[in-house]
């Protein structure tokens, strides 16, 4: 039986199957509702308000009785006031009759700010794929060689390629037609510099790794383009690249479509395990997303998707398994073994990626269970293993933090479960980096007043009285915690100092301390945006995991200081370096030597696309780098507890001691 549902303020409506959740109904109708925890009923980000009554305009009788009863999980997430006002969690509420649902501003999906750019890097142009214009002797009664043999002989004579060259079977099947193609019918080719005679056939042959013919086209085809793709847990970025001159022609990005199945990798593994068709849904979602980016880039730049003749992809290990269709459940169990560690070359047609179907998709190798190909991409972009004496640390901060340390003598790596708190998922007013998110903040230690900047606004509050703030994104979260600590509002152990005289410091509805970041009249959600005790604790857990991982690597390498730190990825690019060190998220280091590398994983994918030797380099470093499993260390818990303090319970931070000395004592 179908029931009618209307979502406001979007106005999207339709009939859906009785018994499905409000969240599933929203997805079916194209309504974007936040679902950070993957429908596990714990994050509270999918709150919606049920409008009860008869709506004559829609001929709709909407009643709370048309929904499933309030679950225990909902009672644990929703306040008594919200329950009284008919708020529900869309992920757990099932529909059994007609309803009108209002999606509040804070629950609406928003366009994420995605870091696409990396930095300028030197590289050698030596792609795996090249196009060779070729003049082939036409067949005669006196020369009975096959068409493929003619191509192979011509390549050997003109380019020195061996006669061991193979050809993709679908290309071979169409080869007779291509060689004898009536060029006047093809408007997308030119025969410039290749005069046609009855004695020759003129084609452009695309060779992969000097081993296989993957495409034969009639006439002279001058363009040769490839695609580099960085599949992150939250975002996907694709780069269209010219393989003849080494230029990035264009780039595009999107939210990872798998976000609907969970914000972090473990929730997605759980989704696959708990749903019979989960793996297919996950894989279809990411392949569709990649194809969307591919088609957009090709069309925008005057190409067809099939003009793309080489692809390089990087991803974390779970995203790799999801994209390639490899069973991921054992990644969630000790000893966290991947289905495959080495790099792979897979035909695009086997993955369903809409580029030249006979081309290859190259995936970089992974170093360990949760140190994936994206981290290897960071390594071949930053090349810390080329440092002769200085010690460099590379940190990619995300839901799963990845850390590398070392130089030419030795390289170590580890991963740490920082969780989604730093991306806003476990923070009461946390949100992704999108317009309306508070991204920067400063607190005056004398007045306890705050100034902050919202994405999409040039000025800071209080210069702007109305900011349109909707929540707090990752960089803002780090700033706020650091500023609360520097102003003495929270102590080293994370607890609020309730003795300060400020109306911004108060007890929330749950009776726990909180700090008012933005008053309701400044926001676009009509309520105070606060940062509470639970939010501080979530950040403590995340930053402690990252710091302990870095601390163990330093100990295993036998060093007590770091010469430089590279912050990779979107989060590392936008956070304030000083704030990160003040809260003890990263080890002590000269702040002048703490640099953001932009999307270094994407840079690694581009480098591997432009230079085949980088693929060999990636395979080498993935074998050579030593993985350290920190969680099995006997004193892990002791170190973790010490790292919960701001900046640390015992470790010194000489490079920021002048800041720590200014913090008011309780």
Residue-wise pLDDT for 276-318, tens only, equals: 777 888 888 899 889 999 999 999 999 999 999 999 999 988 8
d(CA 594, CA 29): 46
Q: Is the pLDDT of residue 405 over 70?
A: yes
**Which residue shows structure tokens 């406001």?**
8
Q: What is the layout of strands, in order, in the sheet containing 166-167?
A: 129-137, 200-208, 212-218, 166-167
Where does 416-568 have alpha helices with state H?
A: 474-486, 533-557
- In 124-224, which ranges are E strands? 129-137, 166-167, 200-208, 212-218
C-alpha distances out from residue 193 to 20, 30, 135, 206, 543, Å: 64, 52, 11, 18, 62
Q: 3-state class of 33 per DSSP?
A: strand
pLDDT, residue 194, reads 43
CA angle 95, 47, 496 (to 5 degrees): 150
* Pairing of the two strands 99-102 and 2-8: parallel
Give just the sign of the alpha carbon dihedral 165, 166, 168, 174: positive
pLDDT band (50, 70, 90) for residue 111: low
What does pTM read for this prediction?
A: 0.78
Q: Poorest-confidence range of 298-302, 410-414, 442-446, 464-468?
A: 464-468
Q: Is the pLDDT of residue 187 over 50?
A: no
Mean pLDDT, the chain, rounded, equals 86
Mean pLDDT on 10-24: 82
- 355 and 229 Cβ atoms separated by less than 8 Å: no
Mean pLDDT on 252-265: 74
Mean pLDDT on 434-438: 83
pLDDT, residue 530, reads 94
Within 8 A by CB and 6+ apart from 657, the residues are none
pLDDT band (50, 70, 90) for residue 78: confident
Q: Is 334 exposed, middle or buried (0-12, 13-18, 19+ CB in 10 A)?
A: exposed
pLDDT, residue 456, reads 81
Q: 3-state class of 71 per DSSP?
A: coil
pLDDT, residue 188, reads 40
Mean pLDDT on 396-402: 81
**pLDDT higher at 40 or 543:** 543
d(CA 189, CA 204): 10
> What is the b/e burial string over 131-166, where b = at least 16 CB atoms within 10 angstroms of the residue's CB?
bebbbbeebeeeeeeebbebbbebbeeeeebeeebe
Mean pLDDT on 249-266: 78
pLDDT, residue 437, reads 86
């Amino acid at each position: 039986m179908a029931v009618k549902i209307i979502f406001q303020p979007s106005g999207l409506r339709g009939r859906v199957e009785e018994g499905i959740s409000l969240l599933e109904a929203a997805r079916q109708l194209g309504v974007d509702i936040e679902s950070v925890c993957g429908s596990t009923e714990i994050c509270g980000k999918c709150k919606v308000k049920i409008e009860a009554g008869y709506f004559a305009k829609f001929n709709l009788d909407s009643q709370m009785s048309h929904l499933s009863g309030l679950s225990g999980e909902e009672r644990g997430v929703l306040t008594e006031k919200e329950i009284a006002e008919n708020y529900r969690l869309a992920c757990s509420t099932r529909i059994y009759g007609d309803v009108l649902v209002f999606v509040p501003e804070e629950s609406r999906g928003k366009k994420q700010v995605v870091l696409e750019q990396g930095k300028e890097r030197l590289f050698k142009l030596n792609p795996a794929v090249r196009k060779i214009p070729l003049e082939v002797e036409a067949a005669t009664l006196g020369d009975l060689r096959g068409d493929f043999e003619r191509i192979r002989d011509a390549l050997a004579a003109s380019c020195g390629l061996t006669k061991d060259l193979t050809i993709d079977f679908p290309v071979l099947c169409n080869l007779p037609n291509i060689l004898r193609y009536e060029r006047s019918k093809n408007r997308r080719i030119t025969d410039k510099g290749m005069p046609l005679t009855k004695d020759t056939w003129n084609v452009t042959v695309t060779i992969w790794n000097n081993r296989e013919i993957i495409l034969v086209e009639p006439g002279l085809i001058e363009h040769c383009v490839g695609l580099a793709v960085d599949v992150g847990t939250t975002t996907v970025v694709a780069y269209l690249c010219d393989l003849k001159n080494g230029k990035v022609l264009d780039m595009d990005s999107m939210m990872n479509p798998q976000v609907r199945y969970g914000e972090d990798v473990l929730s997605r593994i759980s989704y696959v395990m708990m749903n019979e068709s989960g793996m297919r849904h996950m894989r279809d979602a990411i392949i569709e997303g990649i194809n969307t980016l591919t088609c957009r880039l090709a069309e925008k730049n005057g190409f067809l998707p099939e003009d793309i003749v080489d692809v390089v992809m990087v991803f974390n290990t779970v995203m790799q398994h999801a994209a390639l269709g490899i069973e991921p459940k054992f990644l969630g169990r000790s000893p966290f073994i991947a289905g495959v560690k080495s790099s792979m070359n897979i035909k695009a047609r086997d993955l369903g990626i809409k580029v030249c179907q006979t081309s290859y998709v190259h995936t970089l190798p992974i170093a360990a269970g949760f140190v994936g190909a994206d981290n290897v991409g960071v390594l071949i972009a930053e090349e810390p293993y080329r440092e002769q004496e200085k010690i460099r640390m590379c940190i990619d901060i995300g839901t799963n933090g990845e850390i590398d340390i070392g130089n030419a003598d030795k390289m170590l790596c580890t991963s740490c479960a920082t969780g989604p708190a730093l991306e806003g998922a476990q923070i009461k007013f946390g949100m992704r980096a999108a317009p309306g998110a508070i991204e920067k903040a400063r607190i005056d230690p004398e007045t306890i007043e705050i100034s902050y900047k919202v994405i999409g606004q040039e000025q800071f509050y209080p210069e702007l009285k109305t900011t349109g703030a909707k929540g707090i994104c990752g960089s803002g979260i780090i700033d706020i915690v650091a500023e609360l600590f520097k102003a003495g509002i929270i102590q080293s152990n994370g607890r609020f100092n309730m003795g300060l005289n400020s109306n911004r410091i108060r007890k929330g509805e749950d009776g726990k301390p909180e700090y008012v970041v933005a008053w309701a009249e400044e926001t676009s959600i009509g309520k105070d945006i606060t940062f509470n005790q639970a939010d501080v604790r979530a950040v403590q857990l995340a930053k402690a995991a990252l710091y302990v991982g870095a601390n163990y690597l330093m100990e295993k390498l036998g060093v007590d200081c770091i010469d430089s730190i590279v912050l990779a990825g979107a989060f590392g690019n936008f956070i304030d370096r000083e704030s990160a060190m003040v809260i003890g998220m990263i080890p002590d280091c000269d702040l002048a030597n703490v640099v953001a590398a932009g999307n270094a994983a994407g840079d690694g994918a581009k480098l591997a696309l432009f230079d085949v030797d980088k693929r060999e380099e990636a395979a080498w470093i993935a074998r050579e780098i030593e993985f350290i499993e920190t969680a099995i260390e006997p004193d892990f818990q002791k170190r973790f507890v010490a790292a919960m303090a701001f900046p640390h319970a015992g470790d010194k931070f000489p490079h920021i001691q002048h800041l720590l000395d200014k913090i008011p004592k309780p």
